[in-house]
A and B are shown apart, each in its own frame.
Chain A
Amino acid sequence: MPRAPSQPRPASAPEDLERLRRRDPAAIEQVVRRHSADLLNGALALGLRENAAEELVAETFAAFLDAAPRFQGRSSVKTFLFGILYRKAMERGRRSARELACDPVDEAFERRFSLLGHWSQPPRGPEEETLAREVAELIGTCLQGLRPLERAAFLLKDVEREPSGSVRNALEVKDTHLRVLLFRARNKLRDCLEARWGGR
């Protein structure tokens, strides 16, 4: 007889955290098996090659165990792991984690509105949800145009659909900084796709 699907336990159950803090091998194995595929996909989404992505995931789990005594369980284990992964990716120094004070997308956004705040260049392109699959084919290239921290914020908020508070904790950024990151990521992606949509 097929087994009824069991209700998954909360990822940050206090007893699990305590076992992780004690470095219980079974608890470690459970976390690794549960999250390694997602983390690998996340690392690949950051534009890393496969070997570099695997190495980053391995480093992420090692750092997670080191940080486990300080982990309070305010966000899920998954979000905490993603935060470590993204910060480590940035530490690798392809670009500084410090974002520029200005970004060309800020000015491009402003140019689309009149002084009264009305659209002077209204958005072009589709809006039908059924086109998501078509847009999915285009978005990979556009994602490469984001800075690492912008990409991390976008992936956690819009792809993983984490609440803003969890994203702030995971990326260790303040509320206003997260808003700027999301603004830039979303508008860069939209502008990039709009250029590919052409005159639709």
Chain B
Amino acid sequence: MSFPVNCHRVCLWLSRGEAEEASWPSRWLAQAHLAWCPHCRRYRAQLGLIGDAARLSLARPAAAERVERLQARVLRRLLDGGRGPD
């Protein structure tokens, strides 16, 4: 991957999750580009927004009684050593 020096490269860099393991020159170049480019800043913000929204959307917990029933079923299967009727 080449350095994030224009909008295309910066957006590739952001969406491929390269920041986490990038070298400091790459990070510096990306930050410098993001500082002056409103479109890339919007793109970055939207990726963050999507992650937050997915977390909120998936945070609705399964009903407690369903989870308990599932746990009982799994434990019966694992601890009884068989795969008999659930």
Residues of A at the B interface (CB closer than 8 Å) are 25, 28-29, 32-33, 36-37, 40-41, 44-45, 50, 54, 57-58, 61-62, 65, 109-110, 113, 116-119, 122-123, 125-129, 131-133, 135-140, 143, 154-155, 157-159, 163-164, 178-180, 182-183, 186-187, 189-190, 193
Whether the pair A183, B16 counts as a contact (CB closer than 8 A) is yes
Residues of A within 8 A of B71 (CB): 32-33, 36
Instruction: Give the A-B contact count at a CB cut-off of 8 A.
Output: 147
B67 interface hit (Cβ, 8 Å): yes
CB distance from B75 to the nearest CB of A (A): 6
Whether the pair B67, A36 counts as a contact (CB closer than 8 A) is yes
Sorted nearest first, the 5 A-B pairs with minimum C-beta distance are: A117-B6, A127-B45, A135-B53, A117-B8, A158-B51
- Residue from A36, A62, A131, A180 in contact with B49 in the complex, judged by beta carbons closer than 8 Å: A131
Closest residue on chain B to residue A167 by CB atoms:
B17
Residues of A within 8 A of B51 (CB): 158-159
Whether the pair B77, A25 counts as a contact (CB closer than 8 A) is no
Whether the pair A164, B21 counts as a contact (CB closer than 8 A) is yes
